[in-house]
Structure formats: C-alpha cells, structure tokens
C-alpha cells in the first residue's frame, strides 16, 4: 500500500521535476542534459515577446482576481439575507458559471461580445463629436478580464459563502444590539472573520486566471497571454526556453497556492 | 437604507456581470445555432435545424470524447481510490495533511505546462528512448490515444483523489473494527462497509472529472497530435479557423445538452444508490 502511494507520488511529480531539471540544462537541445546553466532563464526573461505576454497575463490575473473578490464577496454577503426566487436564480447562475466547460465560456463570450460590439460600434461612431476618432470596441484585454471575472466571481462567492455559513450569527446580533450600524458591524465583525476566505479566493482566482489558456484563446483578440505564447511555441517545437518559462510559471503558482492553503487552514483552525 | 435595498445594491454588480458575460452570450450561442452561415463568415439569423442535421459530420469528435472521457474517468478512479484509501485509513495522521496537499497542488498549477511535460516524456527522446535501451524498439507513444489517456489521468487524478479521501476520512473507523471483530475478512469489510460508504466521494470525483473532460481541448491538442481530437478541438477549429459560427454554435449547444443529460441521469442513479451530494468543494 505504501509502495503504491510512493509510485503515484512519483507519477505526479516526475514530469514536473523533469521540466525543472531540463530548464537548467546548458545544452541547446531540449532533451539532452549537458551541464548546469541558468542561461535559458536569462534568455526567456530577455525575450520581449515573453515579457509582453507575461505583463498581459499579470494585468489580467490581477484585475480579474480583484474584481472577482470584491463582487463575489458582495454577492455572498447579500445572498445570506435573501430568500426566494432571486436567491434560487443566483445559486443557479453561480453553479452554471463554475460547471460549464471553459471552452463554452470562451465561445459564448467571443460571439456574444463580437455581436454586441458590431451593433454598438456604429452607434458610438454616430454620436461621437465630429473631428475626433471614435473609439472602437473590440476583443482584447478588457473582454478577457470581463470573462475571467465572471466565473472567478462565482468561485469566490462559493468560498466566501462557505465561510459565512460557518460563522456564528449571534456575533452580528450582539453587534447590532450594542448599537453598531450595519456598516460598522460589517467592518468590525463580519469582514475580519471572512477576510482570510476572501484573500484565499483572490489568490486562487489569480492562479486560475494566470494559468487559463482556453478562455483567453477565444477572448483575448490580438493580445497574447503567457499560456497562449507557450502553447504556440510548443506547437513549433520543444525548446529549453519553454522549460524555463514552465518552471517559473509552476513556481509562481506553487507560491500562491501554498499561501492560499495556509490562509484557509489558519481560518479553519480559528473557527474550531 | 433598508436591509433590502442594501442587499440589492450588493448583488447588482454580480447580477449585471452574469447578465452581460454569461446569460446574453449563452443566449446568443443558442440563437446562432439555429442560424445559417453568412457568405462573409458571420451568421444570418434563421430558424433552421440545418446545423443540427449536419452534426454527424463531426461524429468522430463526439465519438472520441464519449469513449476517452469515460475511459479516462474510470482509469483515474481506479488509480485514485487506493491512494485515497491509503491517505484516509493507513497513513500516519501526522503526515496526512501534507500528503493530501501534495496530491492536490499539481491540479492547481498550469495544465498546459503539465501536459507539455508529457510531450517531453513520451516523445522520441523520452520513454521510448529508455525502452530502446532495454531492447524494446520502435514504440511510438506520442500522438496516440494512449498518450491522451496518460495526459488525462495525469491532469485529473488529483481531482479524483480529493473527494474520495474526504468521504473515506469521515468514515467512522470503529465500523471497520466492528466488522473485523464480527469475523469478516478484510476484503469483505472493504466490499460491504468501506466501499458503500465511500460512494458519495466516488460519485463526486467521477462527475467532476467527467464534466471537465467533456470540454477538454489542450490534452488532445498537445498529446494527440491532431489525430485524437475531442469536441473541444472541433470547436476551436470551427470558431477560430473555419469561422463557421452557426455550425460551431450547434456543436457547442449539443455538447452542453449531452453533458446535462449525462449528469442528470448520473445524479439520479447515484441518489438511488442512497448517496448524498455533498463535498463538491475542491479545496
């Protein structure tokens, strides 16, 4: 049994280890080890295409995670005090948003937004003051952030609601009995208690958005995110530079994940 | 401000976002799936089932998805169950959490990079080269259904282990003792006590993995080399290469409908088995 477990762990970690190992390979060929070197990291970090893609990915991940945490938390807090059809509708939307395949979200966002933009662009051009170039709505970083925010918001709402459900309601009542305003109660009682969940939601959202390929593939327009760059490079062939990028992406994800896990665990311990 | 007004205000951003980015786009896909392809590449609105009648043209993609998704789910289950059992029942409690986290962590890192690792391992200079060294020659692994299956298992194993672990971990260990005190052999205890009590976990794990596999694109694209393609690959082709939005919409709607039907039937079956639907969380 123990031997079996060790085998499964090897299966899970050898591929990751191989990527990390080969990213330090000095040789030019991706699959022959020829001494230790960090030159591929240098190469990757000085490649303007990689840096552009990285910048886009970081902006998208940060904005999506921020919007998702704020709106998701707001929805979770509001849904606590709501019954009836509105709640049922939101429960369903949250469920649909996380369950529907990413590829369908990508497609729907692409053709939905392009259709809406095609209707809006002539209208904007018509009402724009003459002599100025009217702005043109198109797919790009904005549509990508909007698409990521949509399903990450649902994810944050689920995480925060789980935390709210485990919260002692009498604390809120005590607070309002002591004449705290609802906002005061929220700021001084509710928020500190759900904050670790919100932060964990933010970190998970950031990783999700940063790693997402399929939605970005449809929605990013002419923008390139890091996963899109890596995907198109892989199609052209395996290079040591990709190993270095892969190792770095893994490293960043691991760091964020460990932080999220620690936060959720500390919170769980507190609630006991 | 009344409590009611406040709640509405708090819900407004999420509601608007869901409306603009989920409800309207999904409705557009649904409407377009009954449309016709415009000569310029867009869609002419119509009310025709022509696109749906054309679905058999992409039959291979549906067939591949509907064979490899269940096989992949089942393989992941068979590999995951013993590990989840080990973690929940046999492992040293001090190490349990860290061992579990080690299983889950890969799932939250880039599936693109993890699939790429297998291009590397299954490619000419990877495992086939090692096999050649021990005398097995001419084995091609990459760009085969086998490679896609390995990628699937590798990608989704953590998602299968976690819910099974949760259901086994909740299981009252005294039941196992009682069973063996009453003279049941270990395998009988497993079949009559442990396995039935872990069905909620198995059900959740299988459903999560199966749903994600139905929409899979990256793994077949990277490890199947264009030979083993899923519905996801057909969709990318239809929307990004041949730009046939009407037909693509019909394929997407069919995918979602097939998924909903399977999940509904599956839920019915499971609830008849007496399981409940908790533990859907993946954290």
Are residues A90 and B14, on separate chains, in Cβ contact within 8 Å? yes
Give the mutation candidate from A78, A208, A212 for the B interface (greatest B CB count, under 10 A): A78
Are residues A253 and B126, on separate chains, in Cβ contact within 8 Å? no
* pLDDT for A180: 83
- Cα B139–chain centre separation: 29
CA distances to A95, B74, B109, B149, B231 from A98, in Å: 6, 23, 18, 24, 19
Does residue B194 lie within any of the structural domains?
A: yes
* pLDDT for B184: 86
Does residue B4 lie within any of the structural domains?
A: no
Does residue A152 lie within any of the structural domains?
A: yes
* pLDDT for A37: 84
* pLDDT for A271: 59
Are residues A238 and B117, on separate chains, in Cβ contact within 8 Å? no
Does residue A13 lie within any of the structural domains?
A: no
Task: Flag whether pLDDT at B6 surpasses 70.
Answer: yes
Q: B144 or A236: which carries more pLDDT confidence?
A: B144
Query: Which chain B residues have a beta carbon less than 8 Å from that of A72?
Result: 14
- Range name among A50-54, B202-206, B242-246, B273-277 with the lowest pLDDT average: B273-277
Structural domain range at position B237: 59-272
Average pLDDT, chain B: 88
pLDDT band at residue B270 under the 50/70/90 scheme:
confident
Are residues A93 and B8, on separate chains, in Cβ contact within 8 Å? no
A–B: how many Cβ contacts below 8 A?
Answer: 219
Phi/psi class of residue A78: alpha, beta or left (left: φ > 0; alpha: ψ in -120 to 50)? alpha
Q: B221 or A263: which carries more pLDDT confidence?
A: B221
Summarize the confidence of residues B223-234 as an average pLDDT. Answer: 91
Strands (E) located in A185-272: none
Summarize the confidence of residues B45-65 as an average pLDDT. Answer: 91
B105 phi, psi to nearest 5 deg: -50, -45
**Which CATH number goes with the domain that contains A156?**
1.10.3720.10
Does residue B208 lie within any of the structural domains?
A: yes
* pLDDT for B179: 87
CA distance B24 to chain A (A): 7
Model confidence pLDDT, tens digit, residues B117-130: 998 889 877 788 78
Residue of A nearest to B207 (CA): A99
Structural domain range at position A168: 55-271
- Based on the structure, what is the number of domains in chain A? 1
Query: Which chain B residues have a beta carbon less than 8 Å from that of A93?
Result: 18, 22-23
pLDDT band at residue B277 under the 50/70/90 scheme:
very low
Does residue B39 lie within any of the structural domains?
A: no
Task: Compute the distance between CA of residue B256 and CA of residue B264 in angstroms, rounded to an integer.
Answer: 12
Task: Flag whether pLDDT at B104 surpasses 80.
Answer: yes
Are residues A12 and B236, on separate chains, in Cβ contact within 8 Å? no
User: Quick check: B38 contacting A, CB < 8 Å?
Assistant: no
Cβ neighbors of A81 (< 8 A, separation 6 or more) are B3, B7
Tens-digit pLDDT profile for chain A (272 aa)?
Answer: 889 999 999 999 999 998 888 888 877 765 667 778 888 899 899 999 999 999 999 999 999 999 999 999 999 999 988 888 999 999 999 988 988 999 999 999 999 999 999 989 999 888 888 778 888 889 999 999 999 999 999 999 999 998 888 877 788 788 878 888 888 888 888 888 889 889 989 999 999 999 999 999 999 999 999 999 999 998 887 778 888 999 998 888 888 888 877 877 776 666 55
Does residue A184 lie within any of the structural domains?
A: yes
Task: Compute the distance between CA of residue B210 and CA of residue B222 in angstroms, rounded to an integer.
Answer: 19
Model confidence pLDDT, tens digit, residues A5-48: 999 999 999 999 988 888 888 777 656 677 788 888 998 999 99
Model confidence pLDDT, tens digit, residues B152-189: 999 999 999 999 999 998 888 888 888 888 988 888 88
- Based on the structure, what is the number of domains in chain B? 1
User: Of A137, A144, A164, whose CA–CA distance to A209 is shortest?
Assistant: A144
Are residues B114 and A30, on separate chains, in Cβ contact within 8 Å? no
- Range name among A171-175, B219-223, B265-269 with the lowest pLDDT average: A171-175
Does residue A243 lie within any of the structural domains?
A: yes
User: Quick check: A19 contacting B, CB < 8 Å?
Assistant: yes
Does residue A161 lie within any of the structural domains?
A: yes
**Which CATH number goes with the domain that contains B125?**
1.10.3720.10
Are residues B32 and A111, on separate chains, in Cβ contact within 8 Å? yes
CB atoms within 10 A of CB A130: 5
Quick one: what percent of chain B has pLDDT higher than 90? Answer: 52
Cβ neighbors of B215 (< 8 A, separation 6 or more) are A101, A102, A103, A104, B231, B232, B255, B259
ipTM, interface predicted TM-score of the complex: 0.88
* pLDDT for A30: 58
Output b/e per residue, B120-158; b: 16+ Cβ within 10 A. Answer: bbbbeebbbeeeeeeeeeeeebbbbbebbbbbbbbbbbb
pLDDT band at residue B278 under the 50/70/90 scheme:
very low
User: Quick check: B90 contacting A, CB < 8 Å?
Assistant: yes
CB atoms within 10 A of CB A169: 10
Largest distance between two CA atoms of chain B? 79
- Count helices and strands (H / E) in chain A: 12, 0
Does residue B40 lie within any of the structural domains?
A: no
Give the mutation candidate from B27, B65, B109 for the A interface (greatest A CB count, under 10 A): B109
Task: Flag whether pLDDT at B276 surpasses 60.
Answer: no
Are residues B18 and A81, on separate chains, in Cβ contact within 8 Å? no
* pLDDT for B172: 82
* pLDDT for A2: 87
Does residue B30 lie within any of the structural domains?
A: no
Query: Which chain B residues have a beta carbon less than 8 Å from that of A113?
Result: 25
């Amino acid at each position: 049994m123990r031997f079996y477990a060790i085998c499964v762990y090897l299966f899970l970690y050898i591929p990751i280890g191989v990527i990390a190992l080969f990213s330090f390979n000095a040789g030019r060929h991706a699959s022959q080890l020829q001494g230790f070197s960090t030159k591929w990291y240098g190469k990757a970090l000085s490649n303007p295409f990689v840096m552009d893609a990285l910048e886009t990915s970081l902006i998208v991940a940060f904005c999506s995670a921020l919007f998702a945490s704020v709106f998701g938390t707001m929805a979770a807090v509001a849904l606590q005090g709501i019954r009836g059809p509105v709640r049922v509708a939101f429960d369903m939307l949250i469920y649909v948003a996380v369950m529907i395949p990413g590829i369908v979200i990508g497609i729907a966002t692409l053709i939905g937004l392009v259709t809406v933009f095609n209707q809006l662009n002539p209208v904007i051009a018509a009402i724009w003051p003459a002599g100025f170039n009217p702005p043109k709505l198109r797919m790009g970083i904005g549509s990508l952030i909007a698409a990521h925010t949509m399903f990450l918001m649902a994810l944050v709402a689920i995480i925060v609601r789980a935390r709210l459900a485990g919260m002692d309601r009498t604390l809120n009542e005590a607070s309002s009995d002591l004449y705290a305003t609802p906002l005061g109660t929220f700021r001084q009682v509710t928020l500190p208690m759900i904050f670790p969940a919100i932060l964990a939601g933010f970190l998970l959202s950031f990783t999700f958005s940063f790693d997402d390929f399929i939605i970005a593939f449809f929605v990013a327009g002419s923008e390139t995110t890091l996963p899109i760059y890596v995907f198109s490079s892989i199609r052209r062939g395996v290079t040591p530079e990709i190993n270095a990028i892969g190792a770095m992406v893994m490293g960043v994800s691991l760091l964020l994940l460990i932080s999220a896990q620690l936060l959720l665990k500390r919170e769980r311990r507190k609630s006991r | 401000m009344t409590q009611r007004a406040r709640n509405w205000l708090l819900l407004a951003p999420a509601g608007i976002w869901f409306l603009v980015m989920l409800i309207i786009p999904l409705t557009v896909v649904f409407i377009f799936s009954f449309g016709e392809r415009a000569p310029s590449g867009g869609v002419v609105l119509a009310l025709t089932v022509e696109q749906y009648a054309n679905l058999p043209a992409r039959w291979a993609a549906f067939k591949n998805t509907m064979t490899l998704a269940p096989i992949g789910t089942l393989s992941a289950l068979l590999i995951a169950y013993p590990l989840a059992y080990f973690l929940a029942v046999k492992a040293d409690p001090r190490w349990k959490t860290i061992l579990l986290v080690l299983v889950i962590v890969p799932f939250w890192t880039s599936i693109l990079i993890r699939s790429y690792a297998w291009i590397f391992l299954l490619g000419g200079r990877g495992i086939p080269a090692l096999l050649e060294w021990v005398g097995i020659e001419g084995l091609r692994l990459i760009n085969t259904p086998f490679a896609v299956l390995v990628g699937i298992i590798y990608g989704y194993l953590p998602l299968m282990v976690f819910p099974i672990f949760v259901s086994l971990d909740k299981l009252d260990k005294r039941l196992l003792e009682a069973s063996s005190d009453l003279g049941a052999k270990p395998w009988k205890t497993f079949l009559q006590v442990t396995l039935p009590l872990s069905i909620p976990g198995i059900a959740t794990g299988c459903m999560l993995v199966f749903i994600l596999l139905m929409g899979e694109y990256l793994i077949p694209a990277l490890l199947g080399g264009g030979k083993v393609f899923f519905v996801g690959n057909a969709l990318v082709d239809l929307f990004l290469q041949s730009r046939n939005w009407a037909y693509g919409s019909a394929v997407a709607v069919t995918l979602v409908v097939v998924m909903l039907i399977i999940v509904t039937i599956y839920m019915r079956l499971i609830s008849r088995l007496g399981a409940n639907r908790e533990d859907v969380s993946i954290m």
